[in-house]
Amino acid sequence: MKNYIARREKKELKIKGETIVQADTLKTFCRHVFEKLGVSTEDADVTADVLVQADLRGIGSHGVARLRRYVNGLREGQMAAMPNVTVVHETSTTTLIDGDGGLGPPIGVQGMRMAIEKAKEIGVGFVAARNSNHYGIAGYYAMMALEHEYIGISLTNADVLVVPTFGRNAMLGTNPISVAVPSGGDYPFVLDMATSVIPKGKIEVYQKLNKELPIGWASDELGIATTDSGQVLHNLNNKMGGGLLPLGGVGEVMGGHKGYGLALLVDILCGVLSGAGYADTIYPKTPDGEPLPANVGHFFGVLRVDGFRPIQEFKATMDDMIRRMKDTPKAEGQQRIYIHGEKEFETAEERMIKGIPLHPKVVADLKAIAEETGVGYDL
């Protein structure tokens, strides 16, 4: 595939072995890969956009590094290239959709669009989805509501990695929560957070660097907090017990039970309410260990601000609140207080101009995918 960055410019932009690629180039490549695997152009474009937007916002764990996961899922039949997404049940304010095992991003976009349309008509809209797959960054869908100056909510459950408070085995996903709220200032408020202390990828980084984990990030097979990154990964990969700890860490002293409660709430809204998988019933396998469709669940909500008060009044109050947060005295040694989403918006603006840095291992995997699918790729 044609690379829109000149060879000379690429050499100047490379940092610590990273390759810099423009967002449009990356999105075009991903779209072509999905199309080669039988995905419709519309769904391929949506899925490619979700992946690239994650990289633009500096969330590399959910960016094009995840392309391999989608490619394998489509090839092996765990993800349907051309799903028949259906409405299972609907009221004036709610909808339940069945994703038929399709790619998560198109199902997520469809669900959020439905919630937005209901909010336009009634003032609020809520949509649950079942039989879906990994849908990327939760914030992508919550932010769709911002185009209409609405408040957006996006939740998803995920494969089990997180141990419940006082438990031994992983029973919950990192189960993210995202809420996007419009403002009149430079950036809206966009909360996009996992309900675990850290993602699994952070453990992998520490393992590669042979570093000990901070105490409170993960637990071993006995449910005891551990600093051994290699042991945690081995246990997770082999379902031997232990795993990531919920937000707040081990036990109740630092509020770990609160993070556990948030993760459980996400599983209730995404899994139990929708009829999707939940806890350790998500990502099921056959008795022979062969993976079955994931049955991931999502939950989307939209609130029309003017259903409560005039939008301009609301945004003026939001701006005042944000200004008060940012202008409060800084902790010693700190120069700035951030509002949720601010760092990501600034990163995206910079990367839209300079390009997206990709780790050498990610580049190598993208090249391998290009060869496997017959999609041209020039880095």
pLDDT given at position 13 = 41
CB 322 within 8 A of CB 189: yes
| Residue 377: pLDDT over 90 | no
Query: Is the model's pLDDT at 60 over the cut of 60?
Result: yes
Q: What is the DSSP string of 260-311?
A: HHHHHHHHIIIIITTT---GGGSS-B-TTS-B----EEEEEEEEEGGGTS-H
Quick one: pLDDT at residue 208? Answer: 81
User: What is the reported pLDDT for 7?
Assistant: 33
Same fold, 7-76+355-373 and 86-197+245-307: no
Determine whether 218 is exposed, middle or buried from the number of CB atoms within 10 Å of its CB (0-12, 13-18, 19+).
buried
Fold annotation for 7-76+355-373? Hypothetical Oxidoreductase Yiak; Chain: A, domain 1 (1.10.1530)
> At 10, is the pLDDT very low, low, confident or very high (cuts 50, 70, 90)?
very low
User: In the predicted model, is pLDDT for residue 11 greater than 70?
Assistant: no
pLDDT of 364 higher than 70: yes
Domain borders along the chain are 7-76+355-373, 86-197+245-307
Q: What is the pLDDT of residue 379?
A: 61
Residues 66, 136 contacting (CB under 8 angstroms): yes
| pLDDT, tens digit, 9 for 90 and up, residues 14-46 | 456 899 999 999 999 999 999 999 999 999 999
User: In which band, very low, low, confident or very high, does the pLDDT at 3 lie, cut at 50, 70 and 90?
Assistant: very low
CATH architecture of the domain with residue range 86-197+245-307: 2-Layer Sandwich (3.30)
**Across 210-234, average pLDDT:** 95
Rounded to the nearest 5°, which phi and psi values hold at 280? -90, 15
More confident residue, 270 or 9: 270
CB under 8 A, 24+ apart: contacts of 229-232: 229/203, 229/204, 232/203
Tokens at 267, concatenated: 């599983």
Q: Containing H/E element for 144?
A: none
In tens, the pLDDT along 262-296 reads: 999 999 999 999 999 999 999 999 999 889 999 99
pLDDT band at 187 (very low <50, low <70, confident <90, very high): very high
Q: In 3-state terms, what secondary structure has residue 7?
A: helix
Specify the higher pLDDT residue, 208 or 357. Answer: 357
| pLDDT value of position 14 | 46
How is residue 213 annotated by DSSP? P
Give the model's pLDDT for residue 16: 63
Collect all residues with Cβ–Cβ distance below 8 Å to 139 and sequence separation of at least 6: 57, 154, 178, 180, 190, 192, 341, 344
- Strands 124-132 and 94-98 turn out to be parallel
Q: Based on C-alpha coordinates, what's the Rg of the chain? A: 21
* Whether pLDDT at 2 is above 70: no
